[in-house]
Structure 1
Amino acid sequence: MNKKHVLFLCTGNSCRSQMAEGWAREFLGDQVHAYSAGIEAHGVNPIAIQVMKEAGVDLSGHSSKLASTLADIPLDLVITVCGHADENCPAFLTQAKLVHVGFDDPPKLAKEADTETLALDCFRRVRDEIRDFVRDQLPELIAQTPSR
């Protein structure tokens, strides 16, 4: 079976797309080459690394990268995980099948939290929502996506 090349795209490649890449490697590593990138590169959010580690997925070796650095990879599927990335997806990525699955922005949610525990819970909730999408819905999307 040929592995599909799947990109998770968000604005800064700091949190949601990083989590999605980590889950895809965890659950579907035998089916996909998973990547994450951003319209911008903000650096990987340390709290995203922390909550993914709690769930058994290590993002500590990940780096934040621009979508343009993946221009030579024959992507089969691009999943935008935030509205800004969906609205501003670079043109070269539109050669792949595009799907938008939006998730809340954990850092934005955490800013409104009253305690550190509640702030962490914002990241954990989004982490788990992304996990459920990758585990439960992504396999069918991959099956429906032709290789390029």
Structure 2
Amino acid sequence: MFPKIKQVVDKIDLNDLTAERKKDLDILVEFVQTKQTAQAPILLNFICTHNSRRSQFAQIWAQVAADYYHIEASCFSGGVEVTAFNERAVASLKRFGFEIEQAGATNPVYTVEWANENTRLDMWSKLFDNEKNPTSNFAAIMTCSHADENCPFVAGCEKRIAVRYEDPKNYDDSPLETAFYDYRSFQIATEMFYVFSKIKK
């Protein structure tokens, strides 16, 4: 793990999570543990409206947490609409120490790396049922209320789980923009590390 990201991970305090929030996250823990115990593929698809901020953060941090705890999970993300991986979210991840390269302009593909050994994700805005995402036996984790309420059916998902986050977009172009994007990213990191810390091998 790159040193700057490791410093971020070392600051995670799982005791900061409330009992109420853990109750929501424990539904995801149960899904992952069931798959782990059965030695079945662990497939997680994080879904929000535009697949531009929250679901991208969640996919990346969930994959980092899975790798950190040596759990073989595959994490994905998608939206109800296609836009682009928001440049403010990308900037936040860079501040946290991720190495990111961009290809393309309209809906760029960002290659995101967090360690030296085969740890990379290609990230771009796509629909939740994009051909790159799983089609069956996966958990659909709804990261925003709009997607949760306006996407009542996710084809192929085995379990639908609501883990909602406030949209950092609400702070775009404000003095709090940078701080709030980093806050949201760190919150999601903390919660994904909580999930994978609970998995028994």
Matches within 5 A, 1:69-84: 69-70=130-131, 73-84=135-146
Two-structure CA RMSD over aligned residues (Å): 2.2
Equivalence for 2:88:
47
Q: 1:129 aligns with which of 179, 183, 187?
A: 187
Q: Which stretches of structure 1, 4 residues or longer, exceed 3 Å deviation after superposition?
A: 92-95
Gap runs ≥5 in structure 1: 144-148
Deviation at 1:137, TM superposition (A): 2.8
Q: Which amino acid aligns with 2:79?
A: G
Equivalence for 1:146:
none
Q: 1:110 aligns with which of 149, 169, 172?
A: 172
Distance 1:126 1:50 in 2: 13
Deviation at 1:15, TM superposition (A): 0.5
Percentage of matched positions with identical amino acids:
27
Greater Rg, structure 1 or structure 2? 2
TM-score, normalised to structure 1, is: 0.81
Deviation at 1:13, TM superposition (A): 0.2
Gap runs ≥5 in structure 2: 1-38, 101-109, 112-122
Aligned residues: 138
Q: Does structure 1 retain, via aligned residues, the 8 Å contact 2:56–2:85?
A: yes
Distance 1:122 1:67 in 2: 25
Q: Verify: 1:66 aligned to 2:104, yes or no.
A: no
Q: Does structure 1 retain, via aligned residues, the 8 Å contact 2:44–2:139?
A: yes
Equivalence for 2:20:
none
Q: Verify: 1:27 aligned to 2:65, yes or no.
A: yes
TM-score, normalised to structure 2, is: 0.61
Higher helix share: 1
Distance 2:46 2:99 in 1: 17
Distance 2:80 2:50 in 1: 6
Higher strand share: 2
Q: Does structure 2 retain, via aligned residues, the 8 Å contact 1:6–1:77?
A: yes
Q: 1:97 aligns with which of 145, 159, 163?
A: 159
Q: Which amino acid aligns with 1:128?
A: F
Deviation at 1:20, TM superposition (A): 0.6
Q: Does structure 2 retain, via aligned residues, the 8 Å contact 1:79–1:99?
A: yes
